[in-house]
Amino acid sequence: MKVGFIGLGVMGGPMALNILKGGHQLTVYDRSPEAIARLVAAGARATTSPREVGAASEIVVTMLPEPQHVEQVVLGENGVAAGLARGGMVIDMSTIDPVTSQRVGRALKELGIAMVDSPVGKTSEHAVSGTLTLMVGGESADIERAMPVLKCMGTDTFLCGGPGMGHAMKITNNLLATTIMVADTEVLAIGIKAGLKLELMMEVMKTTMAFNHQLYVAMPKKAFIGDDSPGFMVKLAGKDVRLAVELARAYGFDALVGRAAQESLERAAKLGYAERDTAALMKIREDELGIQVRLAPAQPAA
């Protein structure tokens, strides 16, 4: 297929590369010349606007930071919809709210353009390997048409329902994952300050209802070795939580735990960690309490 891709960041860049590896013709656009150059070197064609991407493509994939960016890039004066022919398709893989997603989808439908939402789960490592989790929403026929492109990027596909439901799944998933991570950070900091060893806490919690994958999978790779180099950045986690909290509020519900996580992430951003990994939350607690939350180095085999 002739595929366009807009948004070549930490996740989008390797996702686009996997579409190219899947045998599709790829046209790309990003605000970063360096990001475009990497894809061009791999065989993609560069353009200077979203409209040009649309004009060169049958399907355009977007992977953008915020809801307003999706609206502007897709529906703006020089946007994808201005170039994409009737019968074309947009696959939005950004993390945005379902209300915005559905609004963009309705506007595209009036132009004879289909839309599928498919935000992703897992990490940048999975984006590179093409093994992301795909949370897909849309009309059945449109999803079927999108699958050859989606399968280039992910191996675990979940059909979440109609338009916008992939985005609903993603922000609720990220709300839970992030609030668990924030809670882990605070609990471990308290325990270490009280004199407990991290290994002991993890050994005990593995046998209780405190067990969670943030603690045993994600944090040992980053927070427990003092690494807050960009992976899942604080500003993006904060955006995801904010969207979920705002969605709850729109339904007349006050997400108290979500708001607490949102405040923690906003505070981290104000302290200068917006573009650091969420492991920075652990570093902030360490600095506040004068501690280090570290796993002991593995001992060499005898």
Structure tokens at 15: 């996702």
258, HSE (Cβ side, Cα atoms, 13 Å): 21
Residue 170 annotated to the active site: yes
Q: Which pairs with CB-CB distance under 8 Å and at least 24 residues apart come from 152-159?
A: 152/18, 152/19, 152/21, 152/22, 152/24, 153/15, 153/18, 153/19, 153/93, 153/120, 153/127, 154/120, 154/130, 155/130, 155/131, 156/121, 156/131, 156/132, 157/133, 158/133, 158/134
Catalytic option among 170, 222, 239, 283: 170
What is the CB neighbour count within 10 angstroms for residue 135? 27
Which of 115, 126, 117 is CA-nearest to residue 155?
Answer: 126
Which positions are catalytic?
A: 170
